[in-house]
Structure 1
């Protein structure tokens, strides 16, 4: 597993949930993971049922085996202050700039600068070591922007390095890209078994490959349970006789045997649901075929009917470990 795990996907596919489950899965057996949020939505805090995350690394969960999950919500303004202190030793002068509104002004008029700061902070966490020379975190998991702007987000440092030919900005941008375009990084895309998310996943992978950014895995989220086997599906496609269904319902004691009522009234909605399920099953089968042709490892996570909470996150983490992500 690469040390920087970037998780993206079309909006609504549950990429933040998958990133959180991945952080738990990788933190097993005493490992330490850092879950990084870059969009300012505080989605991580909501998932882990904790208060809003400040701009500091805070432990939010303990994984099986004693591992720890830390979280960080990166604030671009504060990240810029860190940057100014690290490279220019501005200290109090940097804080004065913030009071004057200069930091907010800079990150607003230069969106590329904002992305540089966000990716730079995550890569700094990947490279950071303690006094013994060990990495501070075994894995850093980034809950990244949606697929539509992912490649530009990750590739922004390449553009900055080209604009700033020398100096600390150039060196910092190059250092970040050395991490993002190396085997240390893997970019995973989350999708659903639906046409639009699958097509966006395919487009996203093509863009990542064109930009020479390392692709990782495809994670299909919210997969519905299997209700009918192939034999039953074949019967639905061929057309199930209404009379036979009514007799079976009556024999099971559903609706009684009175003709024109009871069991007969259940036949139409029941067959309608069966037809809908068969159509959905065919769609999902086709989308799995499209995803398989993209040539990346494919994983599936179930739809949790009871909703998402801490127990659900641990359940999804267990599924990921059973599928070889650990």
Structure 2
């Protein structure tokens, strides 16, 4: 039943890439998907190699099976003008306020209102209908990072001091109703490293305390070790057989020296230690009892071809 997919993660974990791949994976068999960003970084434009996105829903890619991915960069000031026109019919007056800087002033002194406007646009796009059917089969939100995701989504709290009643309060209540429903799932992107995993654990606790539903934990940039468990155990102790390493080097046409073998043994130890730490962090993630999805490290970087590869991984 989920149609709104909120993607968050610590900075550097690849949450924007995962959000884009998720949108592509959902755009199957003619489905229409809206991919939204709210941080003003134009990360989606860079990822899809298109001009900076305006405050207009624009088609940026075609998914498998002929579906379409549209993108939207939500700007708080533009969203406020839209809000003023929708609820108070202040079309020209709102634009006049924008010219004198009043819009920016309002959203600066009331940051909670900014989050209501940003999430409000996502709310509207998720519920919008066209010709008797939903305008989009799914909406994917490239949300703020895990350190800010709970207050960003908890718009009721953010407007508590701004409005007890009225349209703003009503919209905040409606947004929270949708975020807490079966329509919405929140996906957290992490790496198998200490800080991203800890932020993920903290965010899951904070989100569930708000009655928000977790979809999956996406473990990104996973590297598979070429060594089996026995070899890893020997590598940690720097006891990999030097003669076997030497044979491997010679078979590859590389001149063998004690210094080179010693360096490789040390590298293997560092690799084995890292693998051990990654497994410990994976155990911490698994202990949450949530669905876990893994995506591989793509050594050649991310382009549109790589995005489609990740989309296929997500579908699988």
TM-score bracket relative to the smaller structure: over 0.9
Measure how far apart 1:142 and its partner are. 0.5
Measure how far apart 1:71 and its partner are. 0.3
1:259 matched residue in structure 2: none
Measure how far apart 1:235 and its partner are. 2.9
What TM-score does the superposition give when structure 1 sets the normalisation length? 0.93
- TM-superposition CA deviations, 1:95-152 (whole Å, max 9, x none): 1111111101111111111101000000100000012x21000111000001111100
- TM-superposition CA deviations, 1:5-56 (whole Å, max 9, x none): 0000111101000000000001111111100000000000000010000000
* 1:61 and 2:40 aligned: no
Q: Distance in 2 between matches of 1:246 and 1:6?
A: 48
Unaligned runs of at least 5 residues, structure 1: 257-261
Q: Distance in 1 between matches of 2:173 and 2:214?
A: 20
2:92 matched residue in structure 1: 92
Measure how far apart 1:231 and its partner are. 2.8
2:147 matched residue in structure 1: 148
Q: Are the structure 2 counterparts of residues 202 and 108 from structure 1 closer, same or farther at C-alpha, using a change threshold of 3 Å?
A: same
Verify the 8 A CA contact 1:161 1:174 in the aligned structure 2. no
Q: Distance in 1 between matches of 2:248 and 2:31?
A: 54
2:165 matched residue in structure 1: 166
Q: Distance in 2 between matches of 1:246 and 1:130?
A: 65
Measure how far apart 1:308 and its partner are. 0.6
Measure how far apart 1:157 and its partner are. 3.1
Q: Which moved more, 1:296-305 or 1:209-218?
A: 209-218
1:182 matched residue in structure 2: 181
2:127 matched residue in structure 1: 127
1:109 matched residue in structure 2: 109
1:294 to 288, 292, 299: 288
Tell me the number of residue pairs that the alignment of Structure 1 and Structure 2 aligns: 316
CA RMSD of superposed structures (Å): 1.6
Verify the 8 A CA contact 2:159 2:169 in the aligned structure 1. yes
2:135 matched residue in structure 1: 136
Verify the 8 A CA contact 2:237 2:269 in the aligned structure 1. no
Where does 1:1-326 land on structure 2 (aligned, <5 Å)? 2-131=2-131, 133-160=132-159, 164-240=163-239, 243-245=242-244, 247-249=246-248, 251-252=250-251, 254-256=253-255, 262-322=256-316
Q: Are the structure 2 counterparts of residues 29 and 253 from structure 1 closer, same or farther at C-alpha, using a change threshold of 3 Å?
A: closer
- TM-superposition CA deviations, 1:128-184 (whole Å, max 9, x none): 0012x2100011100000111110000023442675232222221111111111111
Q: Distance in 1 between matches of 2:88 and 2:24?
A: 37
Find the residue that maps to 1:65 and give its secondary structure.
helix
Q: Which moved more, 1:153-162 or 1:198-207?
A: 153-162
What TM-score does the superposition give when structure 2 sets the normalisation length? 0.96
Measure how far apart 1:189 and its partner are. 0.6
Verify the 8 A CA contact 1:32 1:138 in the aligned structure 2. yes
Q: Which moved more, 1:222-231 or 1:147-156?
A: 222-231
Q: Distance in 1 between matches of 2:75 and 2:211?
A: 28
Verify the 8 A CA contact 1:198 1:291 in the aligned structure 2. yes
Q: Distance in 1 between matches of 2:30 and 2:173?
A: 32
Find the residue that maps to 2:29 and give its secondary structure.
coil
Q: Are the structure 2 counterparts of residues 149 and 248 from structure 1 closer, same or farther at C-alpha, using a change threshold of 3 Å?
A: same
Measure how far apart 1:249 and its partner are. 4.2
Verify the 8 A CA contact 1:158 1:173 in the aligned structure 2. no
Verify the 8 A CA contact 2:236 2:268 in the aligned structure 1. no
